[in-house]
Structure 1
Amino acid sequence: MDEGEKRTSGGTITLIERQPRTRHRYNIHLDGVYAFSVHEDLMIRYRLLKGAVVESEELERLLVDEERHKAYLSAVRLLSSRLRSEHELRARLMEKEFESSIIDHCLDRLRSEGYLNDALFAEQLAKQRSESQRKGRHWIKQELKQKGVPKEHIEAALEQVDEQTEVEGAYKLVSRRYANEWQEDSVKARRKATGFLMRRGYSMNVALKVMDRLAEQWGKSSGEWVESMDVDDVMHDD
């Protein structure tokens, strides 16, 4: 009997073996036959000692708790690398073939312990994308939607993104990138810079504020070209 074929009937513990390649896990033998493996936390909780009798009902509860514990540890490892939305975490646990009831229990526990919070996740992602990666609100909104964050949390997170912060970030993105082109052909440079910013999720309003700021430095206001600008062309101008 391998670990994928766990025993469902009770018996007497005849052997307990530490798994050589997996820390904190033990193989339990009942009546001389391998029955299941268990994390040491549950082994202590259920007082699994050599010679102890494990009833069938107790074994059933133990195996459910073991699956819950495995799902929880897996989720914590995922969250330790980066924050994740509830939707993302559920999808990853489903990939690991945990049952829906086990996943529900795991997410409930993580929520109650404060490790899973879509509102906080949305707020922190919006801040990081805006300030560190210099992405605009439209980009952030789409990313949060893709991660399954509820609409109300997305809207609350976007309210925390200050437009002036967006303008500063957008300005830093294009001020050097298009400096030489601006001197050669300011109209073409404006179109390319505006399209670049909009593809990164900035609004037209933010893009125009940046263009006006650049115009103050390098000459000519955006009013000289914006009226004839085709947004679709700008978005695809490279």
Structure 2
Amino acid sequence: MPAISKISVQQKNKGRFNIFLKRGDTEEFGFGVGEDILIQYNLHKGMELSEEDIKQMKNKDELHKSYTRAIHYLSYRMRAEKEMYDYLLDNDVTEEDAKDIINRLYKENLLDDEAFARSYVQSKIATSSKGPLLLKQELIQKGVPEDYILSALESYTFDEQYRKALKFGLKKVNDSSKKSFQQKLQTAKQTMMQKGYTQDVIKEVSLQLAEEKEDSAEWDSLVLQGEKALRKYEKKAEGYERKQKVMAALYRKGFSSDLIQRFLEEKGY
């Protein structure tokens, strides 16, 4: 059987070692191992190794390298089990080793689809405008079980969805294009659907957008009529009297007291 003739530290990786073997009068490089394998097998100069020993150590070392690769993959962010499994296979890890690594990661609490789903939803709520239906689809694609997904999405409240959808809905209907309000509103609805918002949210936001459009038009009309009234009473009255005449004129036009008060305050009354 070949015997270990020399053990040296690898130059580029101080945590790995080169094992040289002597077969008869010939010395040659045998294989490389990590420190854990070196300690586990108590490898030392003069130790004889069978071909089965060498094969077993190589397999265990390869498994450890794949595990280390998995840990590195997790260092960027949490991963779903399917993400990790696909990653390992893409890096030429055998199916058997991939399953062993995943089992180890679960035992070490480094993989947890339920926790991943919660974290994913919270992250997207904080950093994106995506709705729950789109998040659900993304998590399904990542292989997360549906019950974990539904549980995680419970934290995505109606109020939070409404706030996000209204924000970009207002942006759509208030753009500078020459499209009609109805065309802009339809675009906003389509965008909300594409982003994965529920029909309840889309309906409520659409009603609010239409209401704000009406309020805006009402304000524009009041400003027009208010300016006319100010010019009309410019030489007929001053100060408080002029304010009262303008207020009365606007009341007769059917404008609300809140809008009238806002207009007069902006005019310095």
- C-alpha contact (below 8 Å) 1:11/1:55 kept by paired residues: yes
2:116 equivalent in structure 1: 121
Q: Partners in 1 of 2:11 and 2:161 — Cα distance?
A: 53
Query: By how many angstroms is 1:24 displaced?
Result: 1.6
Query: By how many angstroms is 1:176 displaced?
Result: 2.6
Matched AA of 2:92? E
Structure 1 residues 126 and 139: CA distance shift in structure 2, 3 A: same
Q: Say yes or no: does 1:210 pair with 2:205.
A: yes
Match runs of 1:106-185 below 5 Å = 106-180=101-175, 185=180
Structure 1 spans left out of the alignment, 5+ residues = 1-9, 221-238
Query: By how many angstroms is 1:55 displaced?
Result: 4.2
SS in 1 for 2:206: helix
SS in 1 for 2:17: strand
Could you say which structure has the greater relative contact order, defined with CA pairs below 8 angstroms and 6 or more residues apart? Answer: 1
Q: Partners in 2 of 1:168 and 1:18 — Cα distance?
A: 59
Query: By how many angstroms is 1:212 displaced?
Result: 2.3
Q: Which has the larger radius of gyration?
A: 2
1:12 equivalent in structure 2: 3
Q: Deviations over 1:80-116 (max 9, x none)?
A: 1121111111111011111122111100010011110
Over the matched positions of the two proteins, sequence identity in percent amounts to: 29
Structure 1 residues 50 and 177: CA distance shift in structure 2, 3 A: farther
Q: Let me know the Cα RMSD of the aligned residues.
A: 2.1
Matched AA of 1:19? Q
Structure 2 length as normaliser, TM-score? Answer: 0.72
Match runs of 1:82-121 below 5 Å = 82-121=77-116
Which 4+ runs in 1 deviate beyond 6 A? none
**For 1:53, which of 43, 48, 72 is the aligned residue?**
48
- C-alpha contact (below 8 Å) 2:172/2:185 kept by paired residues: no
Structure 1 length as normaliser, TM-score? Answer: 0.80
Query: By how many angstroms is 1:57 displaced?
Result: 4.5
2:69 equivalent in structure 1: 74
Q: Partners in 1 of 2:163 and 2:151 — Cα distance?
A: 22
